[in-house]
């Protein structure tokens, strides 16, 4: 299916709750666009999800929820491969081999582990520690060349390149693994929390008011945007005046992105206005882009067997590429 030397996109999303506005603007929109020009593989990364304990019933629900989110946002299972990670055993197998290529020193530099493990490092799962090696395995299993990620995943992607290079060198297999390139959206690489403009909008934030879920109703969206943190100054004239106003910048960025404009354009339109007025306009554009997706997710979620069927079809296609590549890896490594 995938020809030699062809560009191939791989990306993964963790099934850890509802997809939110940050996932949509920072990732899904880009995923959808890439389908037009490249072969793409989009994976619900359930093996990554269990690096911190997950209730099995909730995990099952979340895997289907994320799949529904993929489809509702516009991923096309006829064009792209859509599947869940645990259903292709090659991810785990290659991840072990790459654990033996990757270095402890490299792992120790990963900032996301430090953030996630926090003070309780001794009690973090070993899986959480080697999570970036699994991510490298996801990408390299398909010999993917391009990886759309948010900028918080840039370091993990650099690690994947280092691992690919070391594998190629150690086993004298020049160019066996391509070195994957990040595709980071310049316009909006991060959507921030509505409660704290210095933190990324995240599913794991305790406060529901920190994010807009794709399944939020119109009323919920209006309420959350109304409550979103801002400051007391009106909207400024120049972009440079936003440098110490992270919450204001975030809301203006979201508006710009959703209206296909840029920050300058939005400031031209909104300068001098109070945030309360701007927030009404912002709610309107969020509602018109998000609510149809939320409705589609709810519709799709009612038909579990359909979603499972989509994943199964994706698994078959993914397995075909994975097993061929894994066979080559095993030969290179010296397994009999």
CA distances from 117 to 15, 69, 125, 287 (A): 19, 28, 9, 35
Q: How far is the CB of 190 from ligand TRP (least distance, A)?
A: 12
Which residue, 262, 269, 260, 282, is CA-closest to 236?
269
CA–CA separation, 18 vs 23, rounded Å? 10
- Part of the chain binding ligand TRP (CB under 6 A), chosen from 132-140, 217-225, 257-265, 294-302: 132-140
- 8 Å CB contact between 66 and 44: yes
Q: How far is the CB of 160 from ligand TRP (least distance, A)?
A: 8
Tokens encoding 29: 């929109």
Contact between 11 and ligand TRP per CB under 6 A: yes
Contact between 153 and ligand TRP per CB under 6 A: yes
CA distances from 180 to 27, 256, 324 (A): 17, 30, 19
Q: What is the DSSP letter of 193?
A: P
Q: How far is the CB of 269 from ligand TRP (least distance, A)?
A: 33
Contact between 139 and ligand TRP per CB under 6 A: yes
Tokens encoding 208: 């529901």
Contact between 149 and ligand TRP per CB under 6 A: yes
Q: How far is the CB of 188 from ligand TRP (least distance, A)?
A: 16
Contact between 137 and ligand TRP per CB under 6 A: no
Q: Which of 203, 218, 223, 330 is catalytic?
A: 203
Q: What is the edge-to-edge ordering of all strands in the sheet holding 39-44?
A: 81-84, 39-44, 8-13, 146-148, 181-183
CA distances from 165 to 156, 323, 330 (A): 14, 21, 17
Shorter beta-carbon distance to ligand TRP: residue 12 or 294: 12
Shorter beta-carbon distance to ligand TRP: residue 51 or 253: 51
CA–CA separation, 44 vs 12, rounded Å? 6
CA–CA separation, 195 vs 3, rounded Å? 46
Contact between 48 and ligand TRP per CB under 6 A: yes
Q: Which of 29, 143, 200, 224 is catalytic?
A: 200
**Is residue 324 among the annotated active site residues?**
no
Contact between 257 and ligand TRP per CB under 6 A: no
Looking up tokens 């359909």 gives 306
Q: How far is the CB of 48 from ligand TRP (least distance, A)?
A: 5
**Is residue 312 among the annotated active site residues?**
no
* Interface pick for ligand TRP out of 2, 71, 147, 188 (rule CB under 6 A): 147
* Interface pick for ligand TRP out of 25, 45, 254, 321 (rule CB under 6 A): 45
- Part of the chain binding ligand TRP (CB under 6 A), chosen from 8-16, 198-206, 257-265, 313-321: 8-16
**Is residue 327 among the annotated active site residues?**
no
CA–CA separation, 276 vs 307, rounded Å? 41
* Interface pick for ligand TRP out of 2, 12, 95, 255 (rule CB under 6 A): 12
Contact between 135 and ligand TRP per CB under 6 A: yes
- Taking CB atoms, the residue at the shortest distance from ligand TRP is 12
- Part of the chain binding ligand TRP (CB under 6 A), chosen from 55-63, 115-123, 133-141, 168-176: 133-141
Look at phi and psi of residue 143 and say left if phi exceeds 0, alpha if psi is from -120 to 50, else beta.
Answer: left
Look at phi and psi of residue 2 and say left if phi exceeds 0, alpha if psi is from -120 to 50, else beta.
Answer: beta
CA–CA separation, 16 vs 54, rounded Å? 8
Question: Which positions touch ligand TRP (CB under 6 A)?
Answer: 10-12, 14, 45, 48, 135, 138-139, 147, 149, 153, 156
| Active-site residue list | 116, 200, 203
């Amino acid at each position: 299916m995938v020809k030699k030397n062809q560009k191939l996109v791989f990306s993964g999303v963790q099934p850890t709750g509802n997809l939110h506005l940050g996932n949509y603007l920072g990732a899904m929109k880009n995923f959808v666009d890439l389908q037009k020009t490249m072969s793409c593989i989009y994976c619900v990364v359930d093996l990554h999800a269990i690096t911190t304990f997950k209730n099995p019933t909730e995990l099952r629900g979340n895997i289907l929820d994320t799949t529904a989110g993929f489809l509702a946002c516009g991923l096309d299972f006829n064009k792209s491969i859509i599947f869940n990670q645990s259903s292709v055993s090659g991810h785990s197998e290659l991840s072990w081999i790459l654990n033996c290529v990757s270095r402890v020193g490299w792992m120790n530099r990963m900032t996301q582990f430090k953030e996630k493990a926090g003070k309780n490092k001794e009690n973090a799962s070993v899986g959480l520690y080697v999570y970036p090696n699994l991510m490298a395995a996801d990408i390299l299993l398909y010999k993917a060349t391009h990886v759309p990620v948010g900028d918080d995943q840039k370091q993990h992607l650099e690690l994947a390149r280092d691992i690919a290079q070391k594998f190629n060198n150690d086993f004298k297999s020049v160019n066996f693994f391509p070195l994957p390139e990040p595709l980071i959206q310049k316009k909006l690489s991060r959507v921030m929390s509505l409660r704290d403009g210095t933190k990324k909008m995240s599913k794991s934030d305790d406060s529901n008011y920190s994010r807009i879920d794709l399944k939020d109703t119109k009323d919920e969206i209006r309420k959350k945007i109304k409550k979103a943190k801002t400051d007391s100054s009106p909207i400024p004239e120049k972009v440079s005046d936003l440098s110490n106003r992270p919450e204001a910048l975030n809301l203006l960025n979201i508006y710009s992105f959703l209206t296909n404009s840029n920050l300058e354009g939005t400031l031209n339109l909104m300068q001098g206005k109070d945030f309360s007025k701007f927030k009404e306009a912002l709610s309107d554009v969020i509602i018109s882009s998000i609510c149809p997706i939320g409705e589609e997710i709810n519709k799709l979620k009612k038909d579990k067997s359909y979603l499972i069927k989509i994943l199964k079809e994706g698994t078959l296609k993914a397995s075909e590429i994975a097993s061929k590549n894994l066979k080559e890896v095993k030969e290179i490594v010296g397994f009999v």
